[in-house]
Amino acid sequence: MEFMETKIKNEGQILEGNVLLVDKFLNQQLDIELLEQMALAWKEKFKGEKITKIVTIEASGIAIAAITAKVFGVPALFAKKKASLNLDAKSYKAEVYSFTKKQSYTIAISQKLLNENDRVFLVDDFLANGCAMEGLIKLVQEAGATIAGIGIAIEKSYQEGRKRLEEYNIPISSAARIQSMDASTQSIEFLNEE
């Protein structure tokens, strides 16, 4: 999606250590128009699907899920990153390994909020190594729900994520696919294929 590539070029900052900083429009300050544009594009792409819920992981996925849910006319649901008092004891759980933090954490969704009648669309801000999204897929599958598709705002296509998810045979739509990026020159190349 060209609008996302343009936004990244204009307002993203490439940091050392393979990190794209997008706090001006996605990770801290939120460009609601941009999020809506992305959600509308996903709605068009998945218009044949009867989706019942938009599912993500806290915290950075929530804004994307909220706007997408509004566009699809269904609830947004987010997996919590650790057990808390608000979380039902009966929950679906999955382990996620974080390469950046070099440790695993648990994601959980209350069992009463997801079941085999749900057809969900999963969304997240980044697809890098794919561990977060794979954890979410496993959790949703444990609930018996069907996954109709995955929407990613920014995919770093040179990392393992896309490959890791391919075995699940779920259609993925990434608003921008980064082929390469270089912090020293602040240059960035995109993959044109969807």
Residues that bind ligand 5GP (CB under 6 A): 19-20, 22, 27, 60, 99-100, 124-132, 161
Q: Which is nearer to ligand 5GP, 52 or 121 (CB)?
A: 121
d(CA 150, CA 24): 24
Minimum CB distance to ligand 5GP, residue 83 (Å): 20
Instruction: Work out how close the CB of 79 gets to ligand 5GP at its nearest, in angstroms, rounded to a whole number.
Output: 12
Q: Between 74 and 127, name the residue whose CB sits nearer to ligand 5GP.
A: 127
Looking at beta carbons only, is 22 or 107 nearer to ligand 5GP? 22
**Is the separation of the CB atoms in 70 and 104 below 8 Å?**
no
Shortest reach from residue 89's CB to ligand 5GP, in Å: 27
Q: Least Å distance between CB 44 and ligand 5GP?
A: 24
| Residue placing its CB nearer to ligand 5GP in the complex, 39 or 154 | 154
Nearer to ligand 5GP, 22 or 51 (CB): 22
- Rounded (10°) angle between helices 32-45 and 2-11: 150
Q: What minimum distance in Å lies between the beta carbon of 90 and ligand 5GP?
A: 26
